[in-house]
Amino acid sequence: MSHQPNTMKTNRSNLLVPWLAALVWLGLFSLPKTYAAVPPDQADDRNFSGTWALDLKGSTSFETLMKQMGASFLERTYAASVALKATLRQTETVMTIAARGPGFAFDEILYLDGRTAPSNLGVLGATSLKTTTAWSKDHQQLIETHQIKTKQGKEGQLIIERYLTDDGQTLVAAYTLKLNAEPNPTSARQIWHKEA
């Protein structure tokens, strides 16, 4: 009878060591899984900040798209021949765009939180009535949607999807025009290269 308490202490000690080892093992090996399960946040959004030069040869023609939007022959000819430069500045909530070329200046503010902002901006020959900007589900593309009215009085949407390629050295701006009175959308694409 006098030996029973010592045996119980020994058994408890023998059980305690493997239990602690298992606890430490679970703690060490479950940490990476815990961190991996955290969903990506807005810190993973692409950053478009920088100075960009338009690659006219790499871009597609805007002739048809601009003609549908009501741009004049002179505006369409200018767009096809002038190499523009754009400076983009992006914060968590706002992106500013300042595009410049000989005799050309375009400035725009995009709100990145998905709100719809009233506008009266001239865009490729049409008037933008309001603009909504939001990230794609994977936060890799910035999607800018303009509710527009053409010079001919037609209404519709101009959607601009921006994304980065070549390790952030190339910016692609894909334009899609959807007019309410037209059955098929029209598209065009600009390629911009980052300047050092």
- Among 123, 193, 111, CA closest to 158: 123
Which of 49, 83, 56 is closest to 164 using CA atoms?
Answer: 49
Q: Quote the number of domains for the chain.
A: 2
Distant-in-sequence contacts of 77-82, Cβ < 8 A, 24+ apart: 78/104, 79/124, 80/56, 81/56
The Cα–Cα gap between 47 and 36 comes to: 23
Same domain for 146 and 116: yes
Instruction: Say whether pLDDT at 196 is over 90.
Output: no
101 & 89 share domain:
yes
Model pLDDT, residue 6: 52
Q: For residues 153-181, give the mean pLDDT.
A: 93
Report whether pLDDT(15) > 80: no
pLDDT category at 188 given cuts 50, 70, 90 is very high
Please report which helix (H) or strand (E) contains residue 92, including its range.
none
- Does 69 lie in the same domain as 133? yes
CA distance 174 to 122: 18
pLDDT at position 165 over 50: yes
Ramachandran class of 43: left when φ > 0, alpha when ψ lies in -120 to 50, beta otherwise: alpha
Under the banding of pLDDT at 50, 70 and 90, the label for residue 127 is confident
104/147 same-domain check: yes
Nearest CA to 70 out of 157, 169, 2, 151 is that of 151
Q: How far is CA 23 from CA 17, 28, 132, 136, in A?
A: 10, 9, 51, 41
Q: What local confidence, expressed as pLDDT, does residue 191 receive?
A: 96
CA distance 153 to 164: 34
pLDDT band at 115 (very low <50, low <70, confident <90, very high): confident
Residue 193 pLDDT class (50, 70, 90 cuts): very high
**Range of 7's domain?**
1-38
Identify whether residues 116 and 30 lie together within a single domain.
no
CATH code where residue 173 lies:
2.40.128.20
Domain match, 163 and 67 both:
yes
Q: Are residues 181 and 110 in the same domain?
A: yes
Q: Is the pLDDT of residue 27 over 90?
A: no
C-alpha span between 150 and 15 (Å, rounded): 80
pLDDT reading at 25 higher than 80: no
Taking a C-beta distance cutoff of 8 angstroms, is the pair 50, 88 a contact? yes
22 and 87 housed in the same domain: no
> What's the confidence (pLDDT) of residue 20?
36
| Together in a domain, 6 and 87 | no
> How confident is the model over 156-182, as a mean pLDDT?
93
CA distances from 140 to 7, 40, 79, 135, 161 (A): 64, 12, 27, 7, 10
Same domain for 30 and 123: no
Q: Residue 141's pLDDT is what?
A: 93
CB atoms within 10 A of CB 76: 20
Q: What pLDDT, on the 0 to 100 scale, is given for residue 106?
A: 87
Give 23 or 176, the one with higher predicted confidence: 176
Same domain flag for 29 and 68? no
Q: Are residues 21 and 102 in the same domain?
A: no
**Mean pLDDT, the chain, integer:** 79
41-90 residue pLDDT tens: 444 568 999 999 999 999 999 999 998 888 888 888 888 888 899 999 99
